[in-house]
Structures are given as structure tokens and as C-alpha cells.
Amino acid sequence: MKTYRNPVLNADWSDPDVIRVGDDFYLTVSTFTKVPGLPILHSRDLVNWTIIGHAYTRGHDDVRPGCGVWAPSLRHHDGRFWIFWGDPDVGVCWVSAADPRGPWTEPHVVKPGLGLIDPCPLWDDDGQAYLVHGWARSRAGVNNRLTVHRMAPDGEKVLDEGTLVIDADLLPDYRTLEGPKLYKRDGVYWIFAPAGGVEQGWQSVFRAESIFGPYEDRIVLEQGGTEVNGPHQGGWVDTPSGEHWFMHFQDRGPYGRVVHLQPMTWRDGWPVMGDEGEPVIEHRVPVPGGEPGGPGTSDDFAGPELGLQWSWQANPDPSWWELGDGTLRLGCVPGPDDLRERPSVLGQRLPGEPCTVTTSLTLEGEGRAGLAVIGDTAAHVGLERAADGTTVLVCGDMEPVPVERGKRVTLGARVGDGALVTFLADTGEGPREVGAPFQATQGRWVGAVLGLFAAGSGTGQAIFEAFTVDIER
């Protein structure tokens, strides 16, 4: 019997939702202001996932931590894939596509307003459509409650003012009820929703004979005696053989929100998740025969496009980058000195296991460039070249080290337990540790990212080769 170990996605794949179409499983996650956003992941066994595209290719022109795409819901209806999400500063939005690889429609706002988050649609048996969503106190002034609307079947608009179906202020010990997922099974309506906060909360389910309630509630997954704090929101999915599974996230600070897979059964009309309501660490693989794989980390820059694991911190300009001959060229473009505020940082998720990251850099012309780790705090190792051609290796408060003009330098970062980062450099005498250790930190609702950057007046270029991530297993 083949088994898997949680987390099945051991990096920042926040707020996952999952569906099955035939023998294929699809998953998407929150991306906030990363561009492109709404990655589409594919699997045949719920354990091994690869990225096949993105559903949202534009965002903001500037970096806005914590804004943008919150808690999407992925559904398949009437031959099309639909993703609904909440932008707390815009409203409830959706895109759709006939093929999960795209093309996807432009975003449509089905309900405008501030603080509308975590939406999920349901198309009922009689053709009526519904929409549930939560509330963000930061914009709406309220939270801990869920609202259901009748919705036009084509998703054009909501058809009423909405009904408050669950006011968790009235439920003992409930706080921050959010992330609802709406389902119907055997004539019963279900809302799966977490509460209690991402770090210390739990997963509840609510059931009712009418979509507008009244709803009964039950806690179905909580930390208990395990080391899986949270466990927080996710999605329910079945397999072709009729088994039931639940995917959810666990908040791991600088590593972000990693994704776990739990077995799920039904008992006395209620779902039972994990091991009698506690998360499992190891279990048998749901569907035999799946091909091993992952979302991708390393990139040899040999393809016509960047690997799908990469994203920018805001809308990219095509002039920022170029691929060719196994290299990635980043222009040393103007922008904020603070890497956390720079749109032109190219990043990917920090692996949830100890790893060593390496890349080679040659700096042509005036500017600075390097390898960074970015969250609420940021640090980097890199090269700086002045107008007179003087080039130095820099890392934090370290005294700059002269480097021969035009020389290729290998940069690296060893990420140890707890996401403690040791930067590395090889200027020709062999790799060595440089600078002081750096404690990676989470960002606004996200984990830390590994980033490549180039900055300057626009005249210089940074040439990167072979970005490699070696996971310690």
C-alpha cells in the first residue's frame, strides 16, 4: 500500500480549494497581489501536484501587501471552470474558462463592496444559483458571520440583499468565522468553514435543510494532540471510487500556509475528518497510480517562458526580463530601494523543508542585483557595480568584497530549520558563508519568498543562470 506524508504541498499554498472533474483533480489558492495569480494545479491522486497555468494575469502596478486575491473557490459547472474570490477593496469577483489551462475570462465583479471575502457559489438542482461569503472587519467593520445571496445562474449579479445565515457571535467560543465552502449532499446544504484564527483555530461544518438555515454546527477537525496547529480552511472532494477527502492549510509562519490532505468519512449524518477529528500525518494514497511530481522550484531558464512557479510582486513590464541561451536577464530598472516595495522582484515560494538555493550572477553595467529572501523583513546577497566599473559583493552589514569586473559569481542561501537563512557566495575561491544569519519572516498573509532582483538607473543588466533548489530530505 502506497502512503503519503503531510503536508502534501509543503510551501505557501494558502486557502486551497479543490475539485474533481472525471479522473482529474484541480486546485487553486490565494495569491493576494502576486502576478500572475490564481495558479491552477493538477493531480491524479490528490498527493502529487503540478502547476498547469494561472487564471489571473493582472494585478496592481504597485506592491500592496495583503490586498488582492483572497480565498478563492474553484467549481466546475455547465462545462466550465469557475473561480470566485473576494478582493476586500473591490468585492466578489470571478473568472471562468472551458479549459483549466485557459484562456480565462477577464474578471467580473458579481457583488461590489468593501470587506466582501471568501465567496463560494452553488448551482442547485433546480437551476437556482447561490453565493455565500464572509466579511473582513478591516473594511466592513464586522466579521464572524456568513451571508448567502441568490445569484443569477450566469454569475452576472446577485439577486437580493443577502441573508445572514450564520452569526457566529451567537455561538459559544466562536471567533473569526470565515472561508466558507458551500455544498449540497443528499438534499442537505453544507457550509464548511474554519473559525478561531489561522494559527489556533479549527474546522467546523454547518448543515441545514434550507440553504437559508437554520444551521446546526459541529467542529470536525482540530489540533488535538498533534503538532498541526490550526487546522484551517480548505475544500472537500471525492474520488472516482466514491471516497471523500478534505484538503486544508496549516499556518507555519515564515513557510506560509502549507497544505494537508485528510481522509473523510460520514457518520450519523456528519463528516469525520482525519483520525477521529485530529489531523493525520501519514495515510494511504487516495488514488493509486498517480505520477510523482511537484509544483516546481528549480529553473534552468532554458525554456521560452519562465517556470510557472515564478511570480512578480506587482504587474510586470515586459522590458524587465528576457530569456535566452539558458540565462535570465533582468534589467537594473528604477524602483524603491526596499525590496519589499519593488514590483520587479521575481519570486517563488520558500520550501517548507531545509534547502539550499544557488544561482550564478554576472552584472553588466551600473546597478545592483542578487538573491533575496523577502517577508515582513528582507535580506539579500548580491553584486553592486558603480559607474566606474568597480564591482563588489554585498550581504547585509558585511564589509563589501571587491570582485573582478564582469566575473560570474555563484550566490546561494542555505535555509535551515525554522527558516534561518545563511547566505553563501563563491567568487572563485570556493563557496563560503557571507554576512550574518538572517531569520526569514512571513509577509502579510503569506510566507517568505525566494527572490531574484536587479535595480538601478536602467542601464545595467543582471544575468542569472541555473536557479537550483536542493531540498534536504
The pLDDT, as a whole number, for residue 293 is: 87
Q: Is residue 381 part of a domain?
A: yes
State the CATH number of the domain containing residue 139.
2.115.10.20
State the CATH number of the domain containing residue 338.
2.60.120.200
The pLDDT, as a whole number, for residue 395 is: 96
Q: Is residue 291 part of a domain?
A: no
Q: Quick one: 277 and 378 in the same domain? A: no
Q: Is residue 324 part of a domain?
A: yes
Q: Quick one: 396 and 255 in the same domain? A: no
The pLDDT tens digits of the residues spanning 136-186 come to 999 999 999 999 999 999 999 999 999 999 999 999 999 999 999 999 999
Last residue of a domain, one of 214, 249, 284: 284
* Residue linked to cell 480552511: 233
Q: Quick one: 170 and 36 in the same domain? A: yes
Query: Degrees (nearest 5) of the Cα angle 55, 57, 59?
Result: 120
What domain count does the chain have? 2
Candidates 12, 15, 45, 87; catalytic one: 15
Candidates 17, 45, 178, 251; catalytic one: 178
The pLDDT, as a whole number, for residue 292 is: 87
Last residue of a domain, one of 266, 284, 302: 284
The pLDDT, as a whole number, for residue 352 is: 97
Q: Is residue 17 part of a domain?
A: yes
Q: Quick one: 261 and 315 in the same domain? A: no
Task: Output the pTM of the full model.
Answer: 0.97
Q: Quick one: 51 and 94 in the same domain? A: yes
Q: Which residues of the chain have pLDDT under 70?
A: none
Q: Quick one: 330 and 194 in the same domain? A: no
Is 353 noted as a catalytic residue in this protein?
Answer: no
Domain that holds residue 64: 3-284
Last residue of a domain, one of 284, 300, 326: 284
Q: Is residue 302 part of a domain?
A: no
Q: Is residue 32 part of a domain?
A: yes
Is 15 noted as a catalytic residue in this protein?
Answer: yes
Q: Quick one: 179 and 319 in the same domain? A: no
Q: Is residue 292 part of a domain?
A: no
Q: Quick one: 452 and 388 in the same domain? A: yes
The pLDDT, as a whole number, for residue 216 is: 98
Rounded to an integer, what distance in angstroms lies between the CA atom of residue 299 and that of residue 415? 18
Amino acid type, 28: T
Q: Quick one: 355 and 271 in the same domain? A: no
The pLDDT, as a whole number, for residue 1 is: 86
Q: Quick one: 77 and 218 in the same domain? A: yes
Q: Quick one: 388 and 266 in the same domain? A: no
Q: Is residue 293 part of a domain?
A: no
Rounded to an integer, what distance in angstroms lies between the CA atom of residue 440 and that of residue 323? 29
The pLDDT, as a whole number, for residue 290 is: 84
Q: Quick one: 160 and 272 in the same domain? A: yes
